[in-house]
Amino acid sequence: MNYEAYFETALDALRDEGNYRVFAELERPVEQAPQAVQLTEGARRPVTVWCSNDYLGMGKSARVREAVARTALADGAGAGGTRNISGTAHLHVELERTLARLHGKEAGLLFTSGYVSNWASLSTLGAKLPDCTILSDAKNHASMIEGIRHSKANKVIWKHNDPEDLDRKLAALPAHGAKIVAFESVYSMDGDISPMAEIVEVAEKHGAMTYLDEVHAVGLYGERGGGISQREGLADRITVIEGTLAKAFGVMGGYIAASAALCDFVRSFASGFIFTTALPPALAEGARVSVEHLMASNAEREAQQRNVARLRAQLDHFRIPHMENPSHIVPVVVGDPFKAKFLSDTLLEHYGIYVQPINYPTVAKGTERLRITPSPLHTEADIMHLSRALSDLWSQCALSRAVA
Ligand SMILES: *Cc1c(COP(=O)(O)O)cnc(C)c1O
């Protein structure tokens, strides 16, 4: 077999569909954020980043950077092992206690990323619980889907955000056997929020556990940044809350918060926890400082929401269609992979604006989009510049405007 030819052909097919991914290579000096420098062949171009998942700029905050730097200088760069074999630092344990407190749970368990936390926890629970069925929302993130698949548990997909469909599907299952309802709070691509109280009620009625991905909500919602489950007063009725330390908290790592027994169970049986080197303690400490900060401060959340409202108002002014939702994610649907990429390329090259196009398989074909994430760091001038640029391009590409 000609392996190289096979790889090239597969990549050409992606290019033909408009789904070949090109990464923007950036330097991101702290003092200029949300401005960055894009490195192209031989050139350096200043750009404003409008698609970061460091939603609140915490990765750039002096407090968090100092915590990471101080700990790295004092304790070293890496953890030195898996948690089982010499890799457990006091700082990991401290962070887990903080995460448990954030969500009002007995315990927290740290992983190297949010992806790994979903994959490892769902695959372990689904594999070990007797006769387990996992009921998965149709729009769940790839990390949950992979974890469920790997568990080899019975899998039932229910209609996105539809508690009635969930109810029907739970009712159709035999009463014996474990059941896990897996869903998210804020969905990352549409920015919609699940009807959590109804989902919890349905799950409780059928004796099912709930597994909630709050990756796009932790740090951002709830009076202490504990996510939508905290805002809605539902955290104690959710069995497992999963989150990331890489988005609003601005660092890296993932976790679950749940009962002491459940966390101890996953710690003891999950291969994705046991057989991989622990997060560097410096990152754990940076994340802890970030979580503690956002537990006490609402300023960043308020500034973000203000900028989300400002951007939406400007897009309305120019009649740029943007998907309505109650979150901080502003999706501008283009509906075609080539157009989405053209808009993104032109914004970058001619306007110094970086918004990555979101194409299949991240979103369904025909719903390709620009996904804009305003942060507290953006200024009024940044917002005006982005809105005007989009308006220019809307005219240039003869895209349809929103009805006034
Ligand atoms: C980003 C994301 C994850 C993975 O988190 P990482 O910390 O980036 O690995 C999990 N779930 C959802 C919904 C996400 O968007």
Distances, alpha carbon 247 to alpha carbons 43, 207, 289, in Å = 29, 32, 14
| Cα 215 to ligand 1 centre (Å) | 6
Atom of ligand 1 nearest to the CA of 246: 7
Q: Does the beta carbon of 354 lie inside 6 Å of ligand 1?
A: no
In the numeric block, the tokens 């007995």 are attached to 106
Tell how far CA 372 is from the center of its chain: 14
Where does residue 344 rank: exposed (0-12), middle (13-18), buried (19+ CB within 10 A)? buried
Q: Does the beta carbon of 262 lie inside 6 Å of ligand 1?
A: no
Short-list 121, 101, 98, CA closest to 240: 121
Q: Does the beta carbon of 242 lie inside 6 Å of ligand 1?
A: no
In the numeric block, the tokens 């046991």 are attached to 274
User: In sequence order, what DSSP letters do the residues of 102-151 get, joined into one string?
Assistant: HHT-SEEEEES-HHHHHHHHHHHHHHHSTT-EEEEETT--HHHHHHHHHH
pLDDT on residue 295: 98
Q: Does the beta carbon of 126 lie inside 6 Å of ligand 1?
A: no
Tell if the pTM clears 0.85, that is, is over it: yes
pLDDT on residue 178: 98
Sign of CA dihedral 384, 386, 387, 393: positive
CA pair distance 167, 315, nearest whole angstrom: 38
Active-site residue set: 247
| Cα 381 to ligand 1 centre (Å) | 30
105 within 8 A of 241, measured Cβ to Cβ = yes
Atom of ligand 1 nearest to the CA of 118: 10
Q: pLDDT digit of tens for each residue in the chain (404 aa)?
A: 999 999 999 999 999 988 898 899 999 999 999 999 999 888 899 999 999 999 999 999 999 999 999 999 999 999 999 999 999 999 999 999 999 999 999 999 999 999 999 999 999 999 999 999 999 999 999 999 999 999 999 999 999 999 999 999 999 999 999 999 999 999 999 999 999 999 999 999 999 999 999 999 999 999 999 999 999 999 999 999 999 999 999 999 999 999 999 999 999 999 999 999 999 999 999 999 999 999 999 999 999 999 999 999 999 999 999 999 999 999 999 999 999 999 999 999 999 999 999 999 899 999 999 999 999 999 999 999 999 999 999 999 989 898 87
